[in-house]
C-alpha cells in the first residue's frame, strides 16, 4: 500500500488556507492596533492573546461536532466551507475598518473572523486521518505540515509585495490577496476531494487489503496486550520519577513558547520601531526563518535518531537563545539579521519536532489523548499570557526589552529541560525523507 500523494496534497489545501491567515494575523493586526488605533503594547498584547483563549474552547468543541455531523458533503467539509466563507467575508472588513479608523467595526470584524477560523481548524486537521489508511498517516501528516508551511510563506510574500512604506499603509490589497489564496485553496479542495465518497473507499480498502488487515490485526493484538498491562496498573499513578520529568518538560514547553510567541507576535512592530523597517520589509527575516525550518526537518530527524530527542531539543534551545541574543545586538537593519533568523527557524524546528513525542512517551497508551490535551493546554496558555506580559514591557520600559525577554525565558526552558530524565529515545530512522516533516501542528 502506498500513500496517494496527489490526494493528500489536495487535502492539505485546508491547512494551507489556515496557515495563510494566521501568518497575516500575527504580523498585520498588531500594526493596525498600534498605528491606527493608538493602543499601547499592553492592550495590544491582550487583544492578540484572544485567539488563543478562543481556541482553548473552540477547537475541542468543533472537533467533537464534526465527528457527529453527517451531510452530503461529509463530516468535515461543511465546517471548512462555512468557516472559510465567514472568515474571508469579515477579514476583508478589517482593513476597511482600519482605513476608516472605526474601532467598533474593526473589533466586531476581528471577533467574527477569529470565531470562524476556530470553527474549522479541528475539522480541517481531522480530514487527513479520515481519508488516509492508518499505516500511511505519518507520511500524510508530513505532507500536511509542508502545505501549512507553504501557506505561511505565500502570505509573507504577499505582505512583501503589497504592504508599501507609508505613514498610513493600505492593507486592503494584502488582505484581498490572502483571502483569494484561502478561497482558491478551499474551492480546489472541494473540487478534488469528495469527502463522503473517499471516506467510504478508505474504509473498504482497509477492510479488503490483506496487508492492512495484517497490520491492523497486529496492532489490535499489541493494543490488547498493552490494555491488559494497563488494567493491572490502572490504579497506580505515574511513578514519582517520571512525574517529576513530566512536570519539568511541561514547564519547559511553557517557557520556550513564552519566549518564541513574544517574538513572533511583536516582531512586525519591533522591526519598524527599532530597525527602521518600512512597509512589508519585516517579512524578509520571517521568510528566511520559515524556509530554514523547512529545510532543517530532515537533518534534525537524522540527528534525533542518532543522539536522542532530549539532546536535540537542548541543542535547539541553545541555538534559539543565541539567535535571540544576537537579535538584541542589532540597533538597525543589517543583512546579518536574516542569518540570525535562519538559526531561529532551525532551533525552533529542533524543539517542535521532538517535544510532543517526549511528552507522550511518559504516559500509558490509554492516556495519550489526555496528555496530548495537556500538551496543547500548556503551550496555548503560554501564548495567552506572553503577548500581554511582553507587551507591558514594550510599552512601559522599551522595545529593546523584547529579545532579552526571549533570552531569559529560553534559557529558563534550558534549565528545566536539563532535569527531564524520562521520555527520551532515539527515534526510529524514517523510511522516507518526507516522514521527517511529520510533526505535531
Angstrom distance (rounded) from CA 294 to CA 298: 8
343, pLDDT greater than 90: yes
Q: Report if residue 1 sits inside a domain.
A: no
Taken in order 391, 149, 155, 51, is the CA torsion positive or negative?
A: negative
Q: Report if residue 45 sits inside a domain.
A: yes
Angstrom distance (rounded) from CA 115 to CA 113: 5
- Asked if 427 and 360 touch (Cβ cutoff 8 Å), the reply is no
Angstrom distance (rounded) from CA 111 to CA 438: 32
- Asked if 317 and 355 touch (Cβ cutoff 8 Å), the reply is no
Domain identity same for 260 and 154? no
Q: Report if residue 360 sits inside a domain.
A: yes
C-alpha cell at 330: 542589532
Angstrom distance (rounded) from CA 422 to CA 32: 45
Range of the domain at 179: 7-236
- What's the mean pLDDT when you consider all of the chain? 86
Q: What is the DSSP string of 55-69?
A: HHHHHHHHHHHHHH-
Domain identity same for 377 and 258? yes
Overall number of domains in the chain: 2
Domain identity same for 154 and 273? no
**Which of 389, 419, 417 has the alpha carbon at shortest distance from 405?**
389
- Condensed to tens digits (0 to 9), the pLDDT of residues 193-234 reads 888 888 777 666 656 565 556 665 666 666 666 555 555 445
Q: Report if residue 2 sits inside a domain.
A: no
108-128 mean pLDDT: 90
Q: What is the DSSP string of 416-441?
A: HHTT--SS---PPPPSSGGGGG----
Domain identity same for 220 and 277? no
> Could you tell me which residues come within 8 angstroms of residue 67 by beta carbon, excluding any fewer than 6 positions away?
75, 126
> Can you give the pLDDT at residue 135?
66
> Can you give the pLDDT at residue 213?
60
Q: Look at 3-12, 71-80, 425-434 and tell me which has the smallest mean pLDDT.
A: 425-434
Domain identity same for 217 and 299? no
What is the value of pTM for the model shown?
0.80
Q: Report if residue 205 sits inside a domain.
A: yes
Domain identity same for 224 and 108? yes
C-alpha cell at 201: 473507499
Domain closes at, from 210, 236, 262 = 236
Domain closes at, from 175, 206, 236 = 236
Q: What is the DSSP string of 22-52?
A: HHHHHHHHHHHHHHTT---HHHHHHHHHHHH
> Can you give the pLDDT at residue 334?
85
Domain closes at, from 211, 236, 261 = 236
> Can you give the pLDDT at residue 223?
60
- Condensed to tens digits (0 to 9), the pLDDT of residues 347-400 reads 998 998 788 778 877 876 556 656 776 787 888 899 999 999 999 999 999 999
Q: Report if residue 185 sits inside a domain.
A: yes
Domain identity same for 290 and 155? no
Distance, C-alpha 3 to centroid of its chain: 24
CATH number at residue 352: 1.20.1250.20
Domain identity same for 286 and 195? no
> Can you give the pLDDT at residue 113?
97
Q: Report if residue 217 sits inside a domain.
A: yes
Task: State the burial class of residue 246 (Cβ atoms within 10 Å of its Cβ: 0-12, 13-18, 19+).
Answer: buried
> Can you give the pLDDT at residue 197?
83
Domain identity same for 278 and 208? no
> Can you give the pLDDT at residue 253?
95
The three-state secondary structure class of 76 is coil
Q: Report if residue 429 sits inside a domain.
A: yes
Domain identity same for 211 and 256? no
Domain identity same for 332 and 286? yes
Angstrom distance (rounded) from CA 175 to CA 5: 30
Per-residue pLDDT band for 235 (boundaries 50, 70, 90) equals very low
Domain identity same for 24 and 133? yes
Amino acid at each position: 500500500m502506498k500513500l496517494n500523494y496527489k490526494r493528500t496534497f489536495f487535502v492539505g489545501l485546508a491547512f494551507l488556507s489556515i496557515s495563510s491567515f494566521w501568518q497575516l494575523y500575527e504580523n498585520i493586526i498588531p500594526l493596525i492596533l498600534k498605528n491606527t488605533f493608538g493602543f499601547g503594547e499592553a492592550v495590544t498584547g491582550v487583544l492578540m492573546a484572544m485567539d488563543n483563549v478562543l481556541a482553548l474552547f473552540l477547537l475541542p468543541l468543533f472537533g467533537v461536532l464534526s465527528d457527529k455531523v453527517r451531510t452530503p458533503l461529509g463530516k468535515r467539509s461543511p465546517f471548512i466551507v462555512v468557516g472559510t466563507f465567514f472568515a474571508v467575508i469579515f477579514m476583508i472588513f478589517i482593513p476597511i475598518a482600519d482605513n476608516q479608523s472605526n474601532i467598533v467595526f474593526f473589533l466586531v470584524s476581528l471577533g467574527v473572523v477569529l470565531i470562524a477560523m476556530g470553527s474549522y481548524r479541528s475539522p480541517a486537521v481531522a480530514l487527513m486521518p479520515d481519508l488516509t489508511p492508518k499505516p500511511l498517516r505519518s507520511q500524510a501528516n508530513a505532507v500536511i505540515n509542508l502545505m501549512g508551511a507553504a501557506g505561511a510563506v505565500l502570505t509573507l510574500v504577499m505582505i512583501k509585495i503589497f504592504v508599501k512604506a507609508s505613514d498610513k499603509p493600505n492593507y486592503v490589497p494584502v488582505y484581498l490577496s490572502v483571502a483569494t489564496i484561502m478561497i482558491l485553496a478551499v474551492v480546489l479542495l472541494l473540487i478534488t476531494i469528495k469527502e463522503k465518497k473517499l471516506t467510504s473507499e478508505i474504509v473498504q480498502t482497509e477492510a479488503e487489503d490483506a496487508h492492512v488487515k495484517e497490520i491492523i490485526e497486529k496492532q489490535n493484538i499489541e493494543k490488547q496486550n498493552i490494555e491488559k498491562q494497563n488494567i493491572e496498573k490502572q490504579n497506580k499513578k505515574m511513578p514519582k520519577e517520571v512525574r517529576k520529568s513530566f512536570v519539568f518538560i511541561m514547564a519547559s514547553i511553557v517557557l520556550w513558547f513564552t519566549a518564541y510567541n513574544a517574538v513572533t507576535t511583536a516582531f512586525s512592530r519591533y522591526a519598524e520601531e527599532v530597525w527602521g523597517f518600512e512597509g512589508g520589509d519585516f517579512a524578509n527575516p520571517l521568510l528566511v526563518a520559515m524556509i530554514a525550518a523547512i529545510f532543517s526537518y530532515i537533518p534534525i530527524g537524522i540527528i534525533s535518531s542518532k543522539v536522542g530527542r532530549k539532546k536535540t531539543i537542548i541543542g535547539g534551545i541553545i541555538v534559539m537563545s543565541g539567535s535571540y541574543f544576537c537579535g538584541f545586538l542589532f540597533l538597525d537593519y543589517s543583512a546579518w539579521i536574516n542569518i540570525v533568523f535562519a538559526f531561529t527557524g532551525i532551533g525552533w524546528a529542533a524543539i517542535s519536532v521532538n517535544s510532543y513525542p517526549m511528552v507522550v512517551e511518559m504516559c500509558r497508551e490509554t492516556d495519550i489523548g489526555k496528555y496530548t490535551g495537556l500538551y496543547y493546554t500548556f503551550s496555548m496558555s503560554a501564548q495567552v499570557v506572553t503577548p500581554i506580559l511582553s507587551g507591558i514591557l514594550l510599552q512601559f520600559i522599551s522595545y529593546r526589552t523584547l529579545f532579552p525577554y526571549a533570552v531569559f525565558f529560553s534559557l529558563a526552558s534550558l534549565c528545566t529541560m536539563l532535569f527531564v530524565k524520562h521520555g527520551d529515545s532515539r527515534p526510529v530512522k524514517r523510511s522516507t525523507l518526507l516522514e521527517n516533516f511529520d510533526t505535531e501542528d
